[in-house]
Structure 1
Amino acid sequence: MNETIRIIVVDDHAIVRSGVKLLLKKEAAIEVIGEAGDGDEAITKTMALQPDVVIMDLTMPGGKDGLEATLEIKKMRPEVKVLILTMHDEPEYLFRVLKIGASGYILKNALDTELISAVRAVAKDQVYLYPTAAKQLVTGLIQTSDETDGFESLEQLSAREREILVLIAKGFSNKEIADQLFISVKTVETHKRHIMEKLGLTKRHEIVNFALKRGLLDSYE
């Protein structure tokens, strides 16, 4: 990265873009090289101007929103840092933008000094979160740990194994499952063993709990 941090400001409100640019203009070694009013324009400008940091709004009418634009930018220019500047302080937005590769998340009602700190932090390949966001992130991870546990393991199951998992959870015996799927009882037992090994389960009731927590039974009604 150059000594000067090169920035593109993205927001559908011209007055917001002007305010951010005016603020950044006062700072040494920070230069606003472009601006965009929607996600599509943000992508085009990023590809053409190759900034160090894109300050990105989340909700923008017409074309791609901030989430979609961030995802596209990180796919095509992974070295570009995206700093989300938004009015949304809901945890779900925070989780989503971090998951798709954003380097920071700050609210529009933040102090001017916070935005400057955020820009400098993400430019140095650090992650910046507004003060209460870190607490939200940790709390959210704790609350969802039980719900998300095992999803990666679930992806390891074949289509047939998932089918058998659901039937087991619904209470069907090995013989009944074999009859429904036109396979042998021995094959069902083999699949069941593989399922339990892959999911780290040891008892039938654990299979039922696993399926219920992940809404698998609802999908097969």
Structure 2
Amino acid sequence: MSPKHRVVICDDHSIVREGIKQVLASNPGLEVVGEAAGGLEGLALIAKVKPDVVVTDITMPEMNGIDLTKELAKEFPEIRVVILSVHSRKTFILEALKAGARGYVLKDSAGEKLLDAVEAVLAGESYLDSPVAGHIVDEFVKMPSPVEPAGGGETLTDRERQILSLVVEGFSNKQIAEKLFLSPKTVDNHRAKIMSKLGRRDVIGLVKYALATGLVDPDTWGR
């Protein structure tokens, strides 16, 4: 039996922490190994138990979730962070991503999206809730972005463009595999080739490329 992935929850409301545990319990491969009501308490707990993933709110006493994420990025860069917050303003979202968060989910859709986000970041992906993705698009369309691939200049195949469009829409490798009737491993291989061809290292870079090349429509994507 494969070892379970370990999760720590940081939120100052006990009822929210309990709800998160119930959502994560639907995946038998996940184990909640600790919870904290504040950022400093969470940092001390994380240093002790060394989880694979941290699910954290932004607004917390002593240390907020963005500052906690920054500390984790410095001290434990291998730990993935998923932000679960009521804040949908792009300033919060961008700060969280800059701090090192790999996922961002709004609390009002947590029941549907949180488990997908945790599974995605464990698979080495990033995850943005759909309304969150819309705000990121709004920010990026204001910025110049190179249209040409930053890698070796190779063009994408039709299948790679199809997978790229699903990636930037926020689908995980597992979900893409189900939609296209492929194995998750095949999708993972395609995704690696896409990143290599385009010279992008993360989903944000893929979003910028997709917007610049017209692969996705900035007026409707993420809405």
Do Structure 1 and Structure 2 share a fold, with TM-score over 0.5? yes
Structure 2 unaligned runs (5+)? 146-223
Equivalent residue for 1:39? 39
Separation in structure 2 between the aligned mates of residue 111 and residue 82 of structure 1, nearest angstrom: 15
Q: Provide Cα deviations, 1:120-176, integer angstroms capped at 9, x if missing partner.
A: 001111100001222221220222559xxxxxxxxxxxxxxxxxxxxxxxxxxxxxx
Q: C-alpha displacement at 1:42, in angstroms?
A: 1.0
Structure 1 residue 111: deviation in Å?
Answer: 4.7
Partner of 2:16: 16
RMSD after superposition: 1.6
2:49 counterpart letter in structure 1:
L
What TM-score, normalized to structure 2?
Answer: 0.61
| Alignment correspondent of 1:109 | 108
Question: Between Structure 1 and Structure 2, whose CA radius of gyration is higher?
Answer: 1
* 1:60 partner letter: M
Taking the aligned partners of 2:119 and 2:26, their CA distance within structure 1 comes to 14
Stretch moving more, 98-107 or 14-23: 14-23
Cα separation, 2, equivalents of 1:96 and 1:145: 20
TM-score using structure 1 length: 0.62
CA-to-aligned-CA distance 1:57-103 (integer Å, 9 cap, x gap): 00013x11111111111100000000000000001111111111100
Asked if residue 141 in structure 1 is aligned to residue 137 in structure 2, the reply is no
1:118 shift after superposition: 0.6
1:12-67, CA deviations, whole angstroms, 9 ceiling, x for partnerless residues? 01111111112212321010000010000111111110000000100013x11111
Amino acid of the residue matched to residue 5 of structure 1? H
The 3-state SS of whatever aligns with 1:94 is helix
Question: Which portions of structure 1, spanning 4 or more consecutive aligned residues, are displaced by more than 6 angstroms?
Answer: none
Return the structure number with greater relative CO, CA threshold 8 A, min gap 6.
2
Q: Structure 1 CA distance, aligned partners of 2:110 and 2:12?
A: 21
Instruction: Output the amino acid matched with 2:124.
Output: D
- Partner of 1:34, secondary structure, is strand
CA distance in 1, matches of 2:84, 2:110: 12
1:105 partner amino acid: Y
The equivalent residue for 1:131 is: 130
Distance 2:144 2:85 in 1: 27
Alpha-carbon distance in 2 for matches of 1:135, 1:54: 24
Task: Supply the distance in 2 between the matched residues of 1:11 and 1:120 (Cα, whole angstroms).
Answer: 20
Q: 2:163 matched to which residue of 1?
A: none
**In 1, distance between residues paired with 2:137 and 2:3?**
34
